[in-house]
Every structure is written in structure tokens, then in C-alpha cells.
Amino acid sequence: MPTNTKENILNISQAGLEDIVTGLGDKKFRAKQIFGWLAKGVTDFDMMTNVPATLRDKLSEGWYIGIPYAELEQRSKDGTVKCLFRFTDGTAVESVFMKYDYGNSICISSQAGCRMGCKFCASTMDGLERSLTGGEMLGEVLAMRNLTGEDINHVVIMGMGEPFDNYDEVARFIRLIHDPSGYGLSLRNITVSTCGIIDGIDRFAEDFPQVNLAISLHAPNQKMREQTMPVARKYEYGDLLKAAREYTEKTGRRITFEYAVIDGVNDSKECAEELSGHLKGWLTHVNLIPLNEVDGREYKKARGTNVKRFKDILESHGVAVTIRRTLGSDIDAACGQLRRRG
């Protein structure tokens, strides 16, 4: 590594900043000021007006503030804003801002590209470019807040990438954004979605029992899941359900299963019955997602009547279920498609 390469200061915790400022010969309390400024979304050290200019200069010699640049921006009539954010090394990811009754939410990416290979997903079509750091994920939130001028009080890690294929940096992000001296986001307002990496689920139950967990299930059995999700070959269906169940028992929290309903693939009455058989009686919630059709992928969105029938069957077995509301349909491009165009 060349010694003159600057590092992204958004990756640093407040404790880490204390070491840096004391190492630069300044007082420890400056770290709290700097950490607070970073969480406000400042883009330049000179905006930290209560920090002495000498310290600001020293910081900017070794560090940069890694808030990405919004290269493409699509705004929907319903308030949804979808962005292609580019980092200084040229890597680009997508983030989406959404307005709900309960507040504003952002869906962020944890990796540029993905290596999980789900057959219906656009993000994985070119494989994994690289994982993001925790500071870069924080940068997505700050960039979106700067751009929209709106508070963001819910974060879902459900954009491009597999969070548990980048566990340590996702954990770093959660700790950074939760720190009350900084952004101060409640853990309960964070959701992580995984394609079903069991080691990650077990670790997450230990590390972050208050953060919401969603599992992309998308099939009622192993055979069907393997056909659309290669990760199922490594983590078997029954084992995944067992890990999910243990998660609910350990944390006392409900788990969400995502189920993208695909025409003629997983939308039959039999599929709904089989899924109900697995889930009835435990602390779950099923989120039915009308498939976003992706250019270059053969899968089609299930018909509305089939989605409704699926929901009714789950409900008849007492399984909690919702159909995901579609936001931003007038700017619609399934997650991952903006980057492929950009």
C-alpha cells in the first residue's frame, strides 16, 4: 500500500478518533466533536467550525470523508428517490429512499455486486466487484440525507450484496450508525436481509439481538429453492428453518421471511400449503414480494390473483403475511439495474 493513500474517516469509531487526535497532539474531547460532525454529513473538514484549523489540516492530510457522489438520481411521484452512488475509487452502488407512514427509510447496499447468484436478481449478474466498508455504508445514508434534506430514521440493508458475506463491515456499520454521539439510530430501526447464510444468522443472534432480521426464502422446499438460489446447495432448507427458529427463540424476536412470487415457479396453491406447514405456530412474518422483472432474466411477476390466493392460504393457517407495497413504480428498475446501466 502506498503510504500517501488517504483513508475514509467514516470507518472510524469515536474511540478510534480519540487515538487519532491524541496521536496528533490534540485533546481527547475533539474526537467527540469530530464524530458528531461526521454524523451530520459534513463533506469537508473545514465545515467542523469548532475544531481548530490546525487539527482540521492535519486530519485532511491523512483522511478523507467518504460520502459518495450521486451520479444518477431518479425521483418518483410518491417521494421515492433512487440513486447510483459512486465512491472515489469508481465503485458504484444503489440506494433507495422511501417514505412510509412510520417515517423515512433508506435501503442501502452492502456490496458492489454480489456472488450469491440468485437467478431472479439483477445485482448478481456481473458477480461481486467488492464489499463495502462500514464507513461506506454510513456514507450512503449521509449522502441520501444530504440529497433529500430529510431525516432518515429506518435503515434496511437490503440493496445490492449479501450482508453476511461481509459480516464484519456490516457489524461495523451498525455500531457506527447506532452510536448515540453520532447518528444515534435505534437498533430496532435497522433491518438486515440475508439469502440464508446460517453461520451469519447464528452470529447475528448473538451480536445484534435487537436488530431486525429478514431471510430471503423464496421457495417452500429444498428442491425448488436450489433451482433459483445456488446458496441453498450449501445451506439446506431444513437447517435454515432450524436456524431461523433458534433465532426467534434466542432473541424473542419475530423473523421475516421474504418470498418473491414468481409466475409458474413458486406461486401455486401447493406451494402456499407447503410453506404454511413449515411456518405455522411460530414467530414469523411472511412478506410476499411481487417479482420485479429484470432485463435478461426469464422470470415473470406472479399474477395478482395468485399472490392473493397465496396470502389467503397462509392466513388460513394463522401465518402472518403482507404483500409488499410497491413504491417508486414509476421509476421502477429492480434493484441492481441502475448500476448495470450506469
Handedness of CA 155, 150, 260, 126 (dihedral sign): negative
Amino acid at position 228, single letter:
T
Q: Which is nearer to ligand SAH, 194 or 266 (CB)?
A: 194
Binding positions for ligand SAH, 223-252, rule CB under 6 A: none
Beta carbon nearer to ligand SAH, 182 or 336: 336
* C-alpha span between 173 and 137 (Å, rounded): 6
Residue type, 153: N
Binding mask 109-148 for ligand SAH (x = CB under 6 A): ---------x-xx---------------------------
Closest CB to ligand SAH among 65 and 215? 215
Question: Should residue 94 be labelled a site residue for ligand SAH when binding is judged by CB under 6 A?
Answer: no
Cα angle vertex 208, ends 204, 213, to 5°? 65
Which ranges of 213-268 does DSSP label H, i.e. alpha helix? 222-228, 237-251
Residue 216 touching ligand SAH (CB under 6 A): yes
Residue closer to ligand SAH by CB (options 52, 342) is: 342
Distance, C-alpha 208 to centroid of its chain: 15
- Smallest distance, Å, CB 162 to ligand SAH? 4
The piece of 1-9, 140-148, 248-256, 286-294 that touches ligand SAH (CB under 6 A) is 286-294
Which residues are within 8 A (CB) of 54 and not within 5 positions of it... i.e. 6 or more apart?
none
- Candidates 26, 94, 162, 169: give the one binding ligand SAH (CB under 6 A): 162
End-to-end CA distance of the chain: 29
Active-site entry in 94, 136, 140, 169 = 94
Interface with ligand SAH: number of residues (CB under 6 A): 16
Phi, then psi, of 119 in degrees rounded to 5: -70, -20
Listed ranges 25-33, 52-60, 127-135, 288-296: which one lies at the site for ligand SAH (CB under 6 A)? 288-296
Tell me how far, at minimum, the Cβ of 46 lies from ligand SAH, in Å. 37
Distance, in Å, from the CA atom of 198 to the CA atom of 196, rounded to the nearest integer, reads 6
Task: Identify whether 107 is a catalytic site residue.
Answer: no
H-helix segments, the chain: 14-23, 29-40, 53-62, 134-148, 167-178, 198-207, 222-228, 237-251, 269-279, 304-316, 337-341
d(CA 174, CA 185): 9
Nearest C-alpha neighbor of 228 from the set 255, 275, 196, 256: 196
Nearer to ligand SAH, 120 or 167 (CB): 120
260 is a site residue for ligand SAH (CB under 6 A) = yes
**289: contact with ligand SAH by CB under 6 A:** yes
246 is catalytic: no
- Exactly one of 48, 106, 138, 195 binds ligand SAH (CB under 6 A); that residue is 195
The residues assigned a catalytic role are 94, 335
Residues that bind ligand SAH (CB under 6 A): 118, 120-121, 158, 162, 193-195, 216, 258, 260, 289, 291-292, 294, 334
